[in-house]
Amino acid sequence: MTAVVVPGPRPARPRTRILLPVVPAVLLVLLAMTGPLLAAHPVDKPVTAPYGTAGTDTALGGDQLGRDVLSRLLHGGSALIGSALIVAAVVTLLATLLGCFAVLGPRLGRLVERAADTAILLPPVLGIMLLALAWPGGGRLAISVAAIALGTPYAVRIVASAAAPLATSGFVEAATASGERLGHLALREILPNLRATVLALFGLRFVDAVYVIAMAGFLQLGPQPPEADWALMIRENGPGILLNPWAVVAPGLAIGLLAISVNLAANALAPATARRAALR
């Protein structure tokens, strides 16, 4: 007689291992969102000489027009983070709904798969430039729409891949046999079992949205001068990097720290298996 070994419950991850990566991301996001309240100078008024060096009145010096770099840095994060959060939330929501329904209907699944495969082939930069040219004056809203349109197909494939084994599982077949409708199967049977995948996907989509929106700002396809934007600050102050490096280094560090901290937080919150599935 063969003994059956029943695996015990998985040990819970230590709370400190989760909090340590999450706290810096939360603090950075809160600092960026409340930054305009902490700025000492207006973002559009010169307070020092062009590319003025750091001093007591301007901690990070001045930009190409003599505006306070630190004040513009504090103003520039809220819009970027807000746009990235909206893009990540919309992409995750659309992908989750489409992925859950696609695995239950063969016809809908083939349609979603072919549409996603076609959309994935379009390079993100080309797609953003096409939409920016077709929507002059769209600014940050146009870039956000482009990021949603370009990010959703890839996310749908991830959710559909994670939901496919669940669609053939016993509890879904039992619910189908009992006459439950398609919406019940997708939202009540499959979706609750995809929480880890959805969380990992949201974190990755947020980081991707930060990169896409920052890249568009650097190419001046989104926010326009004199708006305070981290990517726009890098482009505007590039010619004077030798005169005041902080005008370029500070916004670059802000974008990098934001992406890294949020990525680490998502990595800590989502199980490793779900994150590996989202990265495939």
Whichever domain contains 149, its CATH number is: 1.10.3720.10
pTM to 2 decimals? 0.80
Domain hosting 245: range is 18-269
181, two tokens? 């409708």
Over residues 48-89, the pLDDT tens digits come to: 999 998 887 889 999 999 999 999 999 988 888 888 999 999
Q: Is residue 11 part of a domain?
A: no
Q: Is residue 275 part of a domain?
A: no
Residues lower than pLDDT 70 in the chain = 1-14, 270-280
Over residues 254-268, the pLDDT tens digits come to: 988 888 888 788 777
How many domains, the chain? 1
Residue 188: its pLDDT value, please?
A: 86
Q: Is residue 6 part of a domain?
A: no
Over residues 1-20, the pLDDT tens digits come to: 334 444 444 555 567 777 77
